[in-house]
Amino acid sequence: MSLTPLNSFNKVHNAVAKVSCGQRHAAIVTQARQLFTMGSNRQGQLGVGVSVDSSRTLTQCSFPMLVDSLSQSQVVDVACGKDHTLAIVTTTPFKSQTKYSVYSWGSNASGQLGLHTMKVNVSIPNEVMFGKEDVEIGRISAGHSHSLFLDSMKGVTYGAGSNTHG
């Protein structure tokens, strides 16, 4: 078996800065800080919505698709769980201050998205809110049905989702 480069993707979108893989999907961050996803979308884990048009549902994509709802932000990190995806993005509302936000989407069957919703599947990125605390999430990790968020300023880790195996 040989590996095949995504030549057409690389030519159009420059170099890849980061990749992450879930069970049936993958995410690619380019050096231009754009996020692309591909693979299964059965739980909304691609973050591109679920409808192709009014009559068709997107359940699978074999080529990288831009996560359009995050295209006005710069994606600095991505993590794929089994059927969910996390991303750290930055927008700069003021030139002197950079604000980092965490977004999540996909399967929320165990609450792994860290969202204040009971929806089982979320098909577009939603911002994760950490309550009234002032947090600066610098690292993210996604597992089978859980997620971890590290506050890089305080050294505090937040968790969401299943705690079945610790």
Residue 3 has pLDDT above 80, yes or no: no
Q: Mean pLDDT of all residues in the chain?
A: 87
Specify whether domain 10-161 bears CATH 2.130.10.30: yes
pLDDT at 17: 92
For 110-126, what is the mean pLDDT? 93
pLDDT at 100: 87
For the chain, the structural domain boundaries read 10-161
Residue 110 has pLDDT above 80, yes or no: yes
pLDDT at 2: 47
Contact status, residue 37 vs residue 28, Cβ threshold 8 Å: yes
| Two structure tokens written together for 92 | 């700069």
In the sheet that holds 35-40, the strands lie side by side as: 16-21, 25-30, 35-40, 60-66
Split at pLDDT 50, 70, 90, the class of 4 is low
For 89-112, what is the mean pLDDT? 85
pTM of the shown model: 0.89
Residue 66 has pLDDT above 60, yes or no: yes
Q: From CA 93, how far away is CA 89, in angstroms rounded?
A: 13
Split at pLDDT 50, 70, 90, the class of 1 is very low
Residue 36 has pLDDT above 90, yes or no: yes
Contact status, residue 25 vs residue 33, Cβ threshold 8 Å: no
For 107-117, what is the mean pLDDT? 94
